[in-house]
Amino acid sequence: MEFEPVIGLEVHAELLTKSKMFCGCPTKFGAPPNTQTCPVCLGFPGVLPVVNKKAIEYVLKVAIALNCRINRHTIFERKNYYYPDLPKAYQISQKRLPLGYDGWLEIEVDGEIRHIGIADVHIEEDTGKLIHGEEGGFEFSLIDYNRSGIPLVEIVTKPEIRSLKELEEFMVALRQLLLYLEVSDCKMEQGSLRFEASVSLRPKGSSELGTRVEIKNLNSFKAVLGAVEAEIKRQQQLLMRGEKIQQQTMLWNEKLRITEPMRTKETAHDYRYFPEPDIPPIVITDEWLENVGKNLPEFPKQRMQRFVEQYGLPIQDAKLLTASKASADFFERCVSMLQQPKTVANWMLTEIQSLLHDDQIGWEDCPLKPEQLAGMLKLLNDGVISGRIAKSVLEEMYRTGKDAQTIVNEMGLVQITDEAQLRPIVDRVIAENPDAVEKFRKGDEKVLGFFVGQVMRATKGRANPQIVNKLVRELLKGR
Ligand code: ADP
Ligand code: MG
Ligand code: ZN
């Protein structure tokens, strides 16, 4: 029998608010442990939470962008369980009345457009972070409460993802959207974006859902894809043997590339949700909703299409440039200063992209500014520097933050266009290479390139190649 996988995702993204969900503590990543805490986020008895309005606004943005319906009257609820990373022994979340529900996100797989249903978009608070270690034969666990109480958006899909390809596209599109909305930095290596996947199989063509297995704590696209692939295989083998799938929660073992049970049958968790008595219901007024809706940014797909129309870029370039909001913004800022879209696109997608790639960072963290690129390209246009020098200037700008003109002045990189200055160098190169001169005499024009290359080398790339070309011809003919 042939089986079809059914996949659902639960996504947690930390919101980019300056302060936490229910207190004024800062949310900056990387501070020394337990320095960003207070009685509220440490769960002391008797303290009162105060809702962060910005966080609600951010989740509202996400819900609207995911085409959700909005619960205009909503409440917070307590999800009760005890764990060392949860000092209150409950998490403030939303269950019955999520801020957003019943939406969709568009993805494209092999040229085909699909809408993946979104069941639920809600707010909750993050837990602290447990750090397990070992020293001198002793195992220990440490806890950092800096993360405790950072606002999260949880996005739950309907079980409508049908393949690994769709799964990957969905994650890429969702991350792209969250970055465009500027509600999360989505840094998976810092835990700002985390996934849980549910997987079941069913006979191909069936419309019923099979028993699902949930895989927790997936912290990268790679982990999600690896875990889901392994889980599909595992279930397939069980079903082929005529066995039943047990509903359970698994963890991904990246080393062995298998999913392993975390909790087995026991009793299913009962979180005893009940309304949070310390927070009044939230009312989303018409005015608030309208305001948030009006201030949404242009979405990736629209921006991509506009780049093609407005700047005459090839679709592929437009796609790459709008893949992140940061690169799209960089591009438009640069083009506003130098009206050469294709040139700017080329430099961004080759030279700068490769510098970013070497440093393993994204456009969000690009140290180079659009002003610097525009300045350098102007020098190139004006013939102040040669194309070859331009690349080194770019790298120097990227590393030092200086502008192109400063670098050119400091390093003496100004292009040599003065024939009187270049002629003796060409002369010398010709004198040093009698064999090549002989070849030229016998009609081999290819050696022209060799001479030009030698002159460029002698001038460390500063000579103007057109003028060198002309001089080489002239001086060779004169021989
Ligand atoms: P719960 O309330 O137990 O958390 P939900 O119905 O909210 O369960 O679903 C949680 C996640 O599991 C969602 O992402 C959903 O798409 C997915 N899911 C639910 N049923 C299945 C199934 N049979 N196969 C695969 N995924 C499923
Ligand atoms: Mg759930
Ligand atoms: Zn606090």
Domain boundaries, the chain: 3-289, 300-411, 419-477
The pLDDT score that the predictor gives to residue 477 is 83
- The pTM score is 0.87
The pLDDT score that the predictor gives to residue 384 is 86
Determine the 3-state secondary structure of 418 from DSSP.
coil
Measured from the alpha carbon of residue 23, the closest ligand is 3
Neighbours of 148 (CB within 10 A): 28
Confidence band of 267 (pLDDT split at 50, 70, 90): low
| pLDDT of 354 higher than 90 | yes
Of residues 222, 285, 272, the one with CA closest to residue 252: 222
DSSP secondary structure letters along 168-183: HHHHHHHHHHHHHHTS
The pLDDT score that the predictor gives to residue 246 is 93
| pLDDT of 26 higher than 90 | yes
Q: Flag the least confident range among 121-130, 193-202, 399-408, 459-468.
A: 459-468
Span 263-272, mean pLDDT? Answer: 69
Q: What is the pLDDT of residues 161-193, one digit of tens each?
A: 999 999 999 999 999 999 999 999 999 999 999
CA 5 / ligand 1 centre spacing (Å):
13
For residue 77, what are its two tokens?
A: 């609820």
* Ligand 1 atom with least separation from CA of 9: 14
| pLDDT of 201 higher than 90 | yes
For residue 399, what are its two tokens?
A: 């590393």
CB-based burial, 210-229: b 16+ in 10 Å, e otherwise: bebbbbbebbebebbbbbbb
| pLDDT of 263 higher than 70 | no
| pLDDT of 101 higher than 90 | yes
Residues sharing a CB contact under 8 Å with residue 55, sequence separation 6 or more, in sequence order: 15, 17, 21, 123, 151
Choice from 96, 102, 156, 247 to test ligand 1 binding pocket (greatest atom count within 8 A of CB):
156
The pLDDT score that the predictor gives to residue 334 is 98
Nearest CA to ligand 1 atom 11: 8
Q: How far is CA 418 from CA 200, 413, 467, in A?
A: 73, 14, 9
Residues linked to residue 463 through DSSP beta bridges, in sequence order: 416
Q: What is the Cα Rg of the chain in Å?
A: 30
How does the average pLDDT of the chain come out, rounded?
95
What is the three-state SS of 60-100? Answer: HHHHHHCCCEECCEECCEEEECCECCECCCEEEECCCCCCE
* Ligand 1 atom with least separation from CA of 214: 12
The H or E element that residue 420 is part of is helix 419-432
Residues within 5 A (CB) of ion ligand 3: 23, 25, 38, 40-41
Span 239-244, mean pLDDT? Answer: 94
Q: Is the CB of 6 under 6 A from ligand 1?
A: yes
**Rounded percentage of the chain residues whose pLDDT exceeds 70:** 99
Separation CA 289–CA 265 (nearest Å) = 43
418 burial class (0-12, 13-18, 19+ CB within 10 angstroms)?
Answer: exposed
Neighbours of 412 (CB within 10 A): 8
The H or E element that residue 274 is part of is strand 274-275
CA 307 / ligand 3 centre spacing (Å):
43
Separation CA 63–CA 90 (nearest Å) = 25
> Residue 220 — left, alpha, or beta (φ > 0 → left; ψ -120 to 50 → alpha)?
beta
CA 12 / ligand 3 centre spacing (Å):
20
Q: Is the CB of 122 under 6 A from ligand 1?
A: no
**Range 419-477 classified under CATH 1.10.10.410:** yes
Q: Is the CB of 209 under 6 A from ligand 1?
A: yes
Separation CA 107–CA 109 (nearest Å) = 7
Of residues 346, 299, 358, 360, the one with CA closest to residue 324: 299
Separation CA 186–CA 177 (nearest Å) = 10
Span 312-317, mean pLDDT? Answer: 97
CA 198 / ligand 2 centre spacing (Å):
10
Separation CA 269–CA 216 (nearest Å) = 15
CB-based burial, 338-352: b 16+ in 10 Å, e otherwise: bebbebbbebbbebb
Q: Is the CB of 8 under 6 A from ligand 1?
A: yes
DSSP secondary structure letters along 215-257: EEEE-SHHHHHHHHHHHHHHHHHHHHTTPPPPP-EEEEETTTT
Measured from the alpha carbon of residue 120, the closest ligand is 1
Q: Is the CB of 201 under 6 A from ligand 1?
A: no
The pLDDT score that the predictor gives to residue 15 is 98
The pLDDT score that the predictor gives to residue 412 is 84
CB-based burial, 43-70: b 16+ in 10 Å, e otherwise: beeebebebbebbbbbbbbbbbbbebeb
Q: What is the pLDDT of residues 32-49, one digit of tens each?
A: 999 999 999 999 999 999
Q: Is the CB of 325 under 6 A from ligand 1?
A: no
> Residue 257 — left, alpha, or beta (φ > 0 → left; ψ -120 to 50 → alpha)?
left
**Is the pLDDT higher at 456 or at 148?**
148
Separation CA 449–CA 445 (nearest Å) = 8
**Is the pLDDT higher at 461 or at 220?**
220
Span 377-395, mean pLDDT? Answer: 91
Confidence band of 332 (pLDDT split at 50, 70, 90): very high
Residues sharing a CB contact under 8 Å with residue 420, sequence separation 6 or more, in sequence order: none
Choice from 158, 200, 212 to test ligand 1 binding pocket (greatest atom count within 8 A of CB):
212
What is the three-state SS of 341-406? Answer: HHHHHHHHHHHHHHHHHHCCCCHHHCCCCHHHHHHHHHHHHCCCCCHHHHHHHHHHHHHHCCCHHH
Separation CA 439–CA 427 (nearest Å) = 17
The pLDDT score that the predictor gives to residue 264 is 57
Measured from the alpha carbon of residue 10, the closest ligand is 1
Span 214-226, mean pLDDT? Answer: 97
